[in-house]
A and B are shown apart, each in its own frame.
Chain A
Amino acid sequence: MATEALGWWGVPLGIAAGTLRGSAPFLFVSLGECLTEKSGKINLGLEGTLLMGAMSAYAISYVTQSPWLGVLVAGLAGIVLGSIHAFLSLQPKVNDIAVGIAMIIFGSGVAFFFGKPFIQPVAPQLPALEFGAWSSQPQVQSALEICPLFLIGVAIAPLMQWFFQSTRWGLLIRAVGDSPDAARAMGISIFKIRLLCIITGSFLAGVGGSYLSLFYPGTWTERISGGQGLMAVALVIFARWQPMQCLYASLLFGGAQAIGPALQSVGVTSYYYLFNASPYILTLAIMIVTCSPKRTLRGAPGTLGSSH
């Protein structure tokens, strides 16, 4: 391992590299989830969407040899799953969390079903932008190989923040999420707004899935998502439903995920799995500290989690 040359410096570098590499899927799913939750619904099924996106992107990239087409198709797959989720969760008396779990099972089932033949072959990957050419250290160079898709995600975050704060459509979505009665009085179709939000959110999650299979880790396996889609829900709570904070939270979670492997590379292996669980423990700890029975969470859409 070349990391040995760097000694313990390899640990922060490894974490930094892991952050730049591993936070993109978190970013896409959390932005998608943020959009969905702003409209007052929860989509727990993004795990299935992520897997479906990863599989379809890899398959299309392999068949057509065009990774960007794969990204597009992953988004389309997200739209399809999102439509199913939206249709079901917007029915009266249907629990959106339950639909989410069903969509995890269904989405991952379909992804594994069609993805089986693509586990072996090697598909063309997304290109990387080399920001590390100035350094002589190969580790630094590889750490700064950044996927354009990640940069797109980073650009979407402030855009979405602006969208919610300063546009009419953003206001409508917030109205639907916070006070459906007021929205109805304004003459807005709650069904349509939520439908569009869930579908667009699912589109983003599908694109996030394509990052998994086409850049990092860059293969298609059945364990590729590792619960990152489920984390989206926790991340959005962590980020207080603010797109910009989703970006910071994704970087933090991506970094936390890299602690285990980074320590392993310098020979600390004993707590590998516990370090891998650190994002979950962190989220839980933050929820315990910030939640209070006396008030609802600051920033939470008013109707979230209710059957309104």
Chain B
Amino acid sequence: MLNHYHWRGTLEAVCIPIAAIFFSLVLFGIFCALAGADPLGVYASIYKAAFGSWFSFQNTLIRASPLMLTSLCTALPAQLGLMIIGNEGAFVIGGIGAVAVGLAISSAPPTVVQLAMAISGIVCGGLWIGAVGALRYYRAVNETISSLLLNYVAIALLNHLVSGPMRDPSSLNKPSTYPIPALDMLGSIPGTRVHYGLIYGLIACAITYFLMRRTTFGFAARTIGGNIRAARIAGLPVGKLTVAICFLAGSCAGLAGMVEVAAVQGRANESLNANYGYAGILVAFVARYNPLAASLVAVLLGGILASGGILQRLHSLPDATILVFQGLVFLVVLYSESLYGRFRVFQDQSTVRRPPSVPYVPRPTSL
């Protein structure tokens, strides 16, 4: 019995998101048709720009790698039942931290500098979201709101630092930090134009998947997410686990910021705030918080993002078209959440239902 217990559920988890993405493609086609563009032509262009050739697929991968990392910032705390949307802030802080360290020790050998930048990005991003987790547990501050507020604080800090203390006087129009020496930049994977950030992203997704699904640490975290009171009665260190998971989540987004700085931008300026964080939340939702699925969804969304330019050039649609498409996909995928369990085809006869999750409350509350 136990051997074929899962397949219908797995089928459901694969079919519903795919159907949702197809439905949102149809809606997007209607939107394009109403805007006076040829929907089939638009689909073809998106496909060509995203996956049509090795050249364009490399573009897609370059955009996908930060998304893999930032999506983990939402996907990991979701295992605890926490909803963190501070990806953008942790991304920006990770980028700043990486640049600061990279510039401070630029005389060291390149490998050391790169390693130090990565560690700095990880630690800065980790502390940023770790603080959100600590506030959640010890002060019951709503994690969604506090992480959202911290996004704005992070962006303000970035603007402050690049226009003041860390500013390169030669950057006139767009205040920036001094550039990281070319030698210290992250290189490309041999034979491609894709930087090593992709490897970081894939490894991070694989590690978090293993950590959450195959270790006692992950099991403890998922227990908290499933039923926090039971977890507390079982003696799990809820506070430590909350802070640790949030730290890991933030460190992934921080690493993404480091990759963006050390492989793409070369310096920190306001371009760092390029919505990779918010797009990462989208990836995490579509992947239903599964880190492995997140890496695939990141490639898909990376492709969509990469096709923004071609829509503007070939179909004279404004660049916001991609934003509309992204929004549609997101809305339809969220709607599809309510469809789970509604189709008989996907119901196992003898499935043990998961108990309904209890909302995350730091300690039993009374009004």
Query: Pick the contact of A97 from B83, B160, B278 — CB < 8 Å?
Result: B83
Q: Interface segment, B105-113, B211-219, B249-257, B335-343?
A: B335-343
Given contacts A97-B144, A287-B145, A293-B140, contact A105 B323 (CB under 8 A): yes
B residues 318-335 touching A (CB-CB < 8 Å) = 318-328, 330-331, 334-335
Given contacts A88-B331, A113-B318, contact A93 B337 (CB under 8 A): yes
Cα distance, A282 to B156, chains bound together (Å) = 14
Given A95-B334, A111-B320, A291-B141, list of 4 further CB < 8 A pairs?
Answer: A44-B148, A104-B278, A272-B160, A302-B367
Q: Which residues of B contact A116 (CB under 8 A)?
A: 318, 320
Contact, CB under 8 Å: A113 / B35: yes
Q: Mark B130-146, 1 if CB is under 8 A from A, else 0.
A: 00000101111110111
Query: Pick the contact of A293 from B138, B153, B163 — CB < 8 Å?
Result: B138
Q: Which residues of A contact B150 (CB under 8 A)?
A: 280, 284
Q: Mark A134-175, 1 if CB is under 8 A from B, else 0.
A: 000000000000000000000000000000000000000000
Interface residues on B, range: 35 or more
Q: Does A63 touch B at the CB level, under 8 Å? A: no
Given contacts A113-B324, A296-B365, contact A287 B141 (CB under 8 A): yes
Q: Which residues of A contact B320 (CB under 8 A)?
A: 108-113, 116
Given contacts A112-B318, A292-B139, contact A306 B323 (CB under 8 A): no
Q: Does B159 touch A at the CB level, under 8 Å? A: yes
Q: Mark B240-284, 1 if CB is under 8 A from A, else 0.
A: 000000000000000000000000000000000000001001100
Cα distance, A291 to B135, chains bound together (Å) = 9
Q: Which residues of A contact B85 (CB under 8 A)?
A: 97, 101
Q: Does B181 touch A at the CB level, under 8 Å? A: no
Q: How far is the CB of A135 from chain B (nearest CB, A)?
A: 34
Q: Mark B296-333, 1 if CB is under 8 A from A, else 0.
A: 00000000000000000000011111111111101100
Q: Which residues of A contact B52 (CB under 8 A)?
A: none
Cα distance, A106 to B282, chains bound together (Å) = 12
Cα distance, A111 to B318, chains bound together (Å) = 11
Q: How far is the CB of A116 from chain B (nearest CB, A)?
A: 4
Contact, CB under 8 Å: B153 / A105: no
Q: How far is the CB of A117 from chain B (nearest CB, A)?
A: 9
CB-CB nearest 4 A-B residue pairs: A106-B327, A109-B323, A277-B156, A112-B320
Given contacts A105-B282, A107-B327, A113-B324, contact A88 B340 (CB under 8 A): no
Q: Which residues of B contact A (CB under 8 A)?
A: 35, 83, 85, 135, 137-142, 144-146, 148-150, 152-153, 155-157, 159-160, 163-164, 278, 281-282, 285, 317-328, 330-331, 334-335, 337-338, 340, 359, 362-363, 365-367
Q: Does A305 touch B at the CB level, under 8 Å? A: yes
Cα distance, A238 to B148, chains bound together (Å) = 15
Contact, CB under 8 Å: B160 / A273: yes
Given contacts A273-B160, A277-B156, A292-B139, contact A110 B334 (CB under 8 A): no
Contact, CB under 8 Å: A110 / B285: no
Closest to A282 in B: B149
Q: Which residues of B contact A107 (CB under 8 A)?
A: 327
Cα distance, A84 to B337, chains bound together (Å) = 16
Q: How far is the CB of B151 from chain A (nearest CB, A)?
A: 8
A residues 234-255 touching B (CB-CB < 8 Å) = 234, 237
Q: Which residues of B contact A306 (CB under 8 A)?
A: 359
Cα distance, A288 to B321, chains bound together (Å) = 39
Given contacts A237-B145, A284-B146, contact A99 B334 (CB under 8 A): yes
Q: Which residues of A contact B340 (CB under 8 A)?
A: 93
Scoring B138, B139, B149, B330 by chain A CB atoms within 10 A of each residue's CB, the highest score goes to B149
Q: Which residues of A contact B338 (CB under 8 A)?
A: 91-94
Given contacts A105-B282, A116-B318, A284-B149, contact A110 B324 (CB under 8 A): yes
Given contacts A234-B149, A287-B146, A295-B367, contact A106 B140 (CB under 8 A): no
Q: Does A205 touch B at the CB level, under 8 Å? A: no
Contact, CB under 8 Å: B366 / A105: no
Q: How far is the CB of A49 from chain B (nearest CB, A)?
A: 13
Given contacts A112-B320, A113-B324, contact A105 B163 (CB under 8 A): no
Cα distance, A277 to B161, chains bound together (Å) = 13
Q: Which residues of B contact A106 (CB under 8 A)?
A: 323-324, 326-328, 330-331
Cα distance, A106 to B320, chains bound together (Å) = 10
Q: How far is the CB of B127 from chain A (nearest CB, A)?
A: 15
Q: How far is the CB of B313 from chain A (nearest CB, A)?
A: 15
Q: Which residues of A contact B282 (CB under 8 A)?
A: 101-102, 105
Q: Does A182 touch B at the CB level, under 8 Å? A: no
Q: Which residues of B contact A273 (CB under 8 A)?
A: 156-157, 159-160, 163
Q: How far is the CB of A96 from chain B (nearest CB, A)?
A: 10
A residues 21-36 touching B (CB-CB < 8 Å) = none
A-B contact list, 7 entries, CB within 8 Å:
A95-B334, A111-B320, A113-B35, A234-B145, A280-B149, A280-B152, A284-B141
Cα distance, A28 to B40, chains bound together (Å) = 41
Q: Which residues of A contact B144 (CB under 8 A)?
A: 44, 97
Contact, CB under 8 Å: A109 / B327: yes
Query: Pick the contact of A102 from B156, B331, B367 — CB < 8 Å?
Result: B331
Q: How far is the CB of A295 from chain B (nearest CB, A)?
A: 6
Contact, CB under 8 Å: B327 / A295: no
